[in-house]
Amino acid sequence: MAKDRSEKRPRRRRSALVSVINGFLTLLVLGMLAGVGIFLYGANQFYSAGSIATDTNFTVEKGSSVQTIAQRLEEQGLIGNHWIFWAGTRALKKEGDVKAGVYLLKANSSMSDVLKEITEGKPLDFFVNVIPGDTSFQVAEKLNAVGPNLTGAPVVAPAEGTLLAVRYDYFPGDSRQSVLEKMQAEMAARLKAIWDGRDTAIDKVIKSPEELVTLASIVEKETGIATERPQVAAVFINRLKKNMRLQTDPTVLYGVTGGKSVLSRSPTSDELKQKTPYNTYQVDGLPPGPIANPGEDALMAVAHPAPTNDLYFVAKSADPADGHLFAATYAQHKKNVAAYRKAAAEADSEAAREALEAQAAKDAGEAVEPAP
């Protein structure tokens, strides 16, 4: 009998061990099934159409973690579960590809679509464009009018000519002052490089970077044709070398407006006689400062003027796109002025003829589109 009992004990131990193993295996299988179920559910949620009702902008803040972005997406009702979005981002190894910016998320975008947009898509553009020839007053107005995309108090117009005329991108929430300082930094850096690389032959009459900007601003306002700017700059430099007055209309108009408005016309006879510091028909040399914010082309034109003896220029026609006629002598300049007046008179005559024809067509009952 004792022998029989000793034989039964190992069997009972083996039976208990098998039960434990079976239990662990069952738990393992159930865990695996649960994991597969959770994975399939998460994948389905990640790739299924989402709850975005209409196209919506979403901002990815600078320096935000994926988990913070996921939470904000869920808070704004743009995804259903931030944990699934976060897990999907990690599974696809996209954490390092997220880019700051404002993104347009399409209606019904899935979490996968949202992730693709903020990692591979192009953010919406936010920028202020400083057009060559804009005054500092005009630029300040642009910055102050941007609305909620820029923050902070309205900026005061900085010194004329201290802003480089290019496009400035910014991030929504940036301050107006920070964008203005960026404009000033761009001008300071570019001006230094241009001044350092200038043709030193201009040093006789252009004695500082500030004077270069002043003349560049005049060149900017005199012509919008990039290929003409070195020649226009040469005319003014040649006049300064001969102690001739610059006699340029844009400076006269700046003396009238102070840069606070744009006068798209020639100066009146009274304005030409008005002795302001900017009236280069009345004062010698350069005006006391710039009359606008020039672009890089105008700055380069003054730093490297064309090799010419020209002292005069006049428009070819009433259309600024036609450019200018240049002359080294006053006699040739008079001929060019006569050619301009003839072209302008012909243009006026053509405009008057077209106006009469348009009125006749109206009288006959025809629909007439306004002139472009």
Q: What is the pLDDT of residues 229-249, one digit of tens each?
A: 999 999 999 999 999 999 999
Q: In this predicted structure, what is the pLDDT of residue 284? A: 94
**More reliable by pLDDT, 36 or 289:** 289
According to DSSP, residue 259 is labeled: T
Q: In this predicted structure, what is the pLDDT of residue 146? A: 81
Is 52 exposed, middle or buried (CB count within 10 Å of its CB: 0-12, 13-18, 19+)? buried
Residue 309, token pair as written in the block: 């003896």
According to DSSP, residue 287 is labeled: -
Task: Say yes or no to pLDDT of 159 above 90.
Answer: yes
* Mean pLDDT of the region 342-365: 64
Domains of the chain: 56-120 (3.30.1490.480), 127-189 (no CATH), 311-367 (no CATH)
In the chain, alpha helices (H)? 2-47, 66-75, 82-91, 111-120, 136-145, 176-196, 209-222, 229-241, 249-257, 269-273, 296-303, 330-363
The dihedrals phi and psi of 151, each to the nearest 5 degrees, come to -120, 175
Q: In this predicted structure, what is the pLDDT of residue 172? A: 87
Residue 187, sorted as left (phi over 0), alpha (psi -120 to 50) or beta, turns out to be alpha
* Mean pLDDT of the region 298-313: 96
Task: Say yes or no to pLDDT of 360 above 80.
Answer: no
Is 168:183 a contact under the CB 8 Å cutoff? yes
Is 85:108 a contact under the CB 8 Å cutoff? no
Q: In this predicted structure, what is the pLDDT of residue 258? A: 87
What is the pTM for the complete model shown?
Answer: 0.75
Residues 163 and 174: their CA atoms lie apart, in Å, by 18
Task: Say yes or no to pLDDT of 168 above 60.
Answer: yes
Is 148:174 a contact under the CB 8 Å cutoff? no
Q: Using pLDDT thresholds of 50, 70 and 90, give the confidence band for residue 121.
A: confident
Residues 287 and 302: their CA atoms lie apart, in Å, by 15
The closest alpha carbon to 166, from 194, 134, 138, belongs to: 134
User: Tens digits of per-residue pLDDT, 135-146?
Assistant: 999 999 999 998
According to DSSP, residue 202 is labeled: G
Choose the most confident range, by mean pLDDT, from 30-34, 103-107, 134-138. 134-138
Q: In this predicted structure, what is the pLDDT of residue 254? A: 93
* Mean pLDDT of the region 164-170: 94
* Mean pLDDT of the region 77-98: 85
pLDDT, the chain, mean: 85
Q: In this predicted structure, what is the pLDDT of residue 266? A: 83
Flag the least confident range among 91-95, 180-184, 239-243, 282-286.
Answer: 91-95
CA 308 remoteness from chain centre: 36
Is 128 exposed, middle or buried (CB count within 10 Å of its CB: 0-12, 13-18, 19+)? buried
Is 139:293 a contact under the CB 8 Å cutoff? yes
Buried b (16+ CB within 10 A) or exposed e, 307-343: eeebbbbbbbbeeeeebbbbbeeeeebeebbeebeeb
Q: To the nearest whole percent, how much of the chain has pLDDT over 70?
A: 81
Q: Which three-class secondary structure state does DSSP give residue 45?
A: helix
Q: In this predicted structure, what is the pLDDT of residue 223? A: 92
Q: Using pLDDT thresholds of 50, 70 and 90, give the confidence band for residue 226.
A: very high
Q: In this predicted structure, what is the pLDDT of residue 309? A: 95
